[in-house]
Structure formats: C-alpha cells, structure tokens
Amino acid sequence: MKSLPELNSNTEAASDDVGIPVSVKIRERLQAARRRFNANDNIADFIQPGELELLLDEVQHKMQGVLDSMVIDTAGDHNTANTARRVAKMYLNEVFSGRYVKGPTITEFPNAERLNELMIVGPITVRSACSHHFCPVIGKLWIGIMPNERTNVIGLSKYARLAEWIMGRPQIQEEAVVQLADLIQEKTKPDGLALVMEATHYCMAWRGVKDMNSKMINSVMRGVFLKDVNLRREFLALIPRER
Ligand SMILES: [Zn+2]
C-alpha cells in the first residue's frame, strides 16, 4: 500500500514530460541560460543526446501541416508523399546542420616556421539560405591571413569546414562574414584577417526583382588589414573575382 502514492507521482511526472514537444524543452533551456537563439546561432549545447531525432519528427509533423494547408494531396500524390520528412531531414541534418551540431574540431599548431607573409585561402564555395525567405544563398569566399610568430596554423581545408559550419544556418550575409571572422580570429589569432564573400541570393533571382545577375559582396577587415592600405590592396588584387 505504501508504494502506491510514489508510483502515482512517478507516473505523473513521466506523463507530464511526454506531452511537451522537444523544441519547447530546448527553448526553455536556452531561455534559462539567457542564450540567444536566432536563426544563425548554434544551439548544439542545449540539445541532449537523442533529441535531434525527436526534433526531426516534430519538424516533419509541422511540415506536413504546411503541405496540408497548401492544399496538396500528399496522400494521393506520390511525389509529395514523403516531402514533409525529406524537408525536415534537409533542414536539420543538411542545410541548417550548423545550428544543431557542435563546431568542427580543428587542431591548431604553433607557427613553427614563423610564417609572416600574406596567406590567401579561396575561393571556398559557400552555401546557405537567407533568414528572410529560406531561399538559397550560394557564393564564394576568400580569406586573407597575416600571421605572426604567435599565430596558430590550421590546415587549409579547415577554413572550409569552419565556413561550412557558419553558413549551414539560415543566414544574413553581412552577419555571416562577421561570425566567421570572429571564429577564425579566435582559432588562429593572426595580426590581420580579411574576408570577402560574394554570393547570389536566390530570393532575388527566383522571386522579388528576379534578377539572376545581382550578387552581394561583403568584406571584413581586421588588424593590419585595417591599418595598412597597401596590404589591403594586395589582398584585393590577388583574389581573382569575376567582374
Ligand atoms: Zn531573402
């Protein structure tokens, strides 16, 4: 008899939890920690093991609701039968995975060769989607690094992995370049850092003004690239952009 109230309270606690969507639980953790969760923020630290699969089910369910509201016969139309699941997977596991997974592990090495010459990496292909319309943003990125003796050296391919992680979120190009510059700055600590991103925004090509040729170019200059006009010119002259 004595164990009965305990059993009841346990069952209640468990069933309380069951009805709460996993997105709400993750959101509550973010709010409790006073952490921002904008579209281009990474929230991996607030997702527990196994929850991403539950989030996938939740997004699929809501996506099915969108298709239903668009009056698409997903039961009769074999082309859209699994679209809700496909879109959910594409968002969470592919194009926006940079929100949901932890950053790539990058091994940094001390600058043993004491490199102090301008180094340029690029073009790196970048793929994202705009936060405004969730339309693709596809373009190219160039990174200029001015190292010093204390700069950490990372492999060339690692710049692409860092860029992929930052761009794998609904983004705003001018915020993306700043986020990426902050990350590279933190990992490598160079004397100067320069970033140029040139991208086509398909929300302007597919809809809106329907201009296929308009590109947006953003740059970030830090450290010696800000102070030294010649260095900045050298970097900009060396990146082979089509004009
Ligand atoms: Zn847009």
- The answer to whether the CB of 228 falls within 8 A of the CB of 194 is no
Q: Look at the chain and count its residues.
A: 243
Could you tell me the strand order of the sheet in which 136-146 lies? 170-171, 119-130, 136-146, 192-201, 215-223
- The answer to whether the CB of 112 falls within 8 A of the CB of 104 is no
Write the pLDDT tens digit of every residue in 141-150. 999 999 988 8
Q: How far is the CA of 203 from the centre of ligand 1 (A)?
A: 5
> How many angstroms separate the CA atoms of 165 and 150, rounded?
25
The residues placing their C-beta within 5 Å of ligand 1, an ion, are: 130, 132-133, 203
Residues of the chain with pLDDT below 70 are: 1-17, 242-243
Strands, E assignment, 105-239: 109-110, 119-130, 136-146, 152-153, 170-171, 192-201, 215-223
Write the pLDDT tens digit of every residue in 33-63. 999 999 999 999 999 999 999 999 999 999 9
Q: How far is the CA of 122 from the centre of ligand 1 (A)?
A: 25
Q: How far is the CA of 47 from the centre of ligand 1 (A)?
A: 28
Q: How far is the CA of 216 from the centre of ligand 1 (A)?
A: 12
Q: How far is the CA of 18 from the centre of ligand 1 (A)?
A: 37
User: What 3-state DSSP class applies to 197?
Assistant: strand
What distances in angstroms separate CA 32 from CA 25, 82, 194, one per listed residue? Answer: 11, 36, 36
- The answer to whether the CB of 95 falls within 8 A of the CB of 129 is yes
pLDDT of residue 29: 98
